[in-house]
Structure 1
Amino acid sequence: MQDTETKARQELAERVAREAGALALSYFTDRDQLVIETKADPQDVFSIADRNVETLVRDAVSHAFPDDGFLGEEYGLTEGTSGFTWVVDPIDGTSAFIFGIPAWCVSLSLLHGDEAVAGVIYAPPTDELFSCMKGHGATLDGRPLKLTADTTLRNGLTGLGANFRVPRETVVQFLDGLMQLGGMFIRNGSGALMLAHVAAGRLAAYYEPHMNAWDCVAGMLMVREAGGWIGPMPVGDLLMEGGPVLAAGPGARDEFEVLASRALASAG
């Protein structure tokens, strides 16, 4: 029964992600009209686009599944009674979005209790839809994703995230170790999208010392369902607080796990 209920919600998430993405894209093409605001830090930005896209998703979910809970980046947590909770980032990569860089996405994920059971990431600039359901694999535009061990830290690109919440040492030490291996990194500003790229085999791994749940739950499940490795999922006690996010393909896992562990320990 739970699989059936989860599948119905995954299908809704795919439809709503496209609708939300279309709304976000309309703001993106007319972003000179947006009023940009900041939160706790000058790098932590948002606009009416973030709010209205989240409202679109909330309204669709509450109409279809009124008993579900909902946690969104802009409007916080609404408790539900069904056991399911939606975790949503309406525009992940807002800084890239407002500067006209096409590296942003809509990220929707679904929890049942404390367990991630489905995720959808839609990238409007490339019109790519990543989707996954626990135990049923991951897809890109309907095509199955299956990671191999061919890509390593040495011959591939590693995604990197950084923000004001963590000591710079946790990033600097990881970068130093990666480059000593002969690896190279990329940062596009959207952690959710880079996690989707790990699941698609485009990135060897992804490292960020701190992410919020709405940024990463969908992407981490995506990587695991594609056959990759992830660190602990940021649910349960970490749902509102966030935590480190680690993800890697089979060929990168061993060296990546060592580098990431050392870097995170450096902050202690």
Structure 2
Amino acid sequence: MHPMLNIAVRAARSAGNVITRGFENRSDLLTEKKGENDFVTKVDKEAEQTIISKIQQSFPDHSFVGEEGGLVEGDKDFQWIIDPLDGTTNFIKGIPHFAVSIALMHKGRIDQAVVFDPIRGELFTASKGAGAQLNGFRIRTGKAKDLTNTTLATAFPFKDKAQSDESISRFTNIFKQCGDVRRCGSAALDLAYVAAGRYDGYWERGVQPWDIAAGELLVRESGGLVTDYTGGNDPLYKGEIVAGNPRVVQSLVKHLK
């Protein structure tokens, strides 16, 4: 395992311990509202600080971008992009589907990635050019040749419902072409599941870099393709993403344009 990936895994597992303890004691949970339908808990904040502290023990000069803490200035060539608890609403409601997401960007490109599901004990990892793994075993995207009989994943713009009509129209168009669609509430796990071949494809608008950075590398390193809604190959800051094997992505983009 790449040394920096090894550190990221340790940080993700430490954050997972924080999250698991919080999940078992949700009666003590303090929830704050960041925006419309957008919540944060003390567990999110504690998990993010745990991740940063663990990484800084080995790389004190690196910079960080976290969902909760914002930007921590440092060496711009090495920037960690962190979502300490992707799927906070699930966590608050007691739905055991959420994950820690950690990615390392080196000179503008995602180089290392970890998505950790602390409830199932599933650790998805990837290093640029070295493939993607689930608990140490190589994973690959699915082999679907088009949308027929595929199982896809998506999400609706719950933070900005003014976009809902457009999103529902796209959903309806794609739903008529595929087998079924899941909407489970964690972009990081959606992308990890695409990388592992559990989902054949995924699309979503309204995502932030910390939602998708680690998952993007997982999909690419498992043989998949990641684009924006127009087929562009760098979706990290576009706020929209399409992922799957190349044929599925091509079909999805055709219906999303």
Following the alignment from structure 2 to structure 1, what is the Cα–Cα distance between the partners of residues 25 and 142?
Answer: 40
Correspondence for 2:7 among 12, 33, 37? 12
Q: Helix, strand or coil for the counterpart of 1:19? A: helix
Give the drift of 1:156: 2.3
Q: Is the 8 A contact 2:141 2:200 kept in 1?
A: no
Q: Is 1:205 aligned with 2:206?
A: no
Aligned residue number for residue 123 of structure 1 = 117
Equivalent of residue 70 in structure 2, options 56, 67, 76: 76
**Paired AA for residue 25 in structure 1:** T
Over the aligned positions, Cα root-mean-square deviation in angstroms equals 1.7
Q: Structure 1: any 5+ residue segments left out of the alignment?
A: 262-268
Identify the match of residue 65 of structure 1 among 59, 65, 87: 59
Q: Deviations over 1:196-222 (max 9, x none)?
A: 000000001111112011110000110
Q: Secondary structure at the match of 2:175?
A: helix
In structure 1, how many angstroms separate the alpha carbons of the residues matched to 2:76 and 2:164?
Answer: 41
User: Is the contact between residue 141 and residue 244 of structure 2 (CA under 8 Å) also seen in structure 1?
Assistant: no
Name structure 2 gaps, 5 residues minimum: 228-232
Q: Could you tell me which residue of structure 1 aligns to residue 217 of structure 2?
A: 221
Q: Alpha-carbon deviation of 1:8?
A: 1.5
Which 4+ runs in 1 deviate beyond 6 A? none
CA distance in 1, matches of 2:121, 2:145: 25
> What is the aligned partner in structure 1 of residue 16 from structure 2?
21
**Contact 2:144–2:150 under 8 Å retained in 1:** no
CA-CA distance at 1:151 after TM superposition: 6.9
Q: 2:96 aligns with which of 93, 102, 114?
A: 102
Question: Which one-letter code corresponds to 2:56 in the other structure?
Answer: S
Alignment partner, residue 230 of structure 2:
none
The SS at the match of 2:11 is helix
Aligned residue for 2:149, secondary structure, equals coil
Question: Do structure 1's residue 258 and structure 2's residue 224 form an aligned pair?
Answer: no
Equivalent position of 1:156 in the other structure: 150
- Secondary structure of the residue that 1:153 maps to in structure 2? coil
Q: For each residue in 1:177-201, what CA deviation from the matched residue of structure 2 results, as whole angstroms up to 9, or x when unmatched?
A: 1122143111111011111000000
Q: How far apart are 1:149 and its partner, in Å?
A: 1.8
Q: CA deviation at 1:22?
A: 1.3
| CA–CA separation in structure 1 for the residues paired with 2:103 and 2:121 | 19
TM-score (norm. length: structure 2): 0.92
Q: Where does residue 174 of structure 1 map in the other structure?
A: 170
Identify the match of residue 84 of structure 2 among 90, 102, 112: 90
What is the alpha-carbon distance in structure 1 between the residues aligned to residue 54 and residue 24 of structure 2? Answer: 24
Q: Measure, in 2, the Cα distance between the counterparts of 1:73 and 1:189.
A: 16
Structure 1 residues 69 and 179, CA, compared in 2 at 3 Å: closer, same or farther?
Answer: same
Match of 1:264 in 2: none
Partner of 2:25: 30
Moved more, 81-90 or 196-205: 81-90
- Tell me what 1:265 maps to: none
Query: How far off its partner does 1:152 sit?
Result: 4.7
Aligned residues: 250
- Aligned-residue sequence identity (percent) comes to 33
Normalising by structure 1, report the TM-score.
0.88
Q: Distance in 2 between matches of 1:113 and 1:212?
A: 19
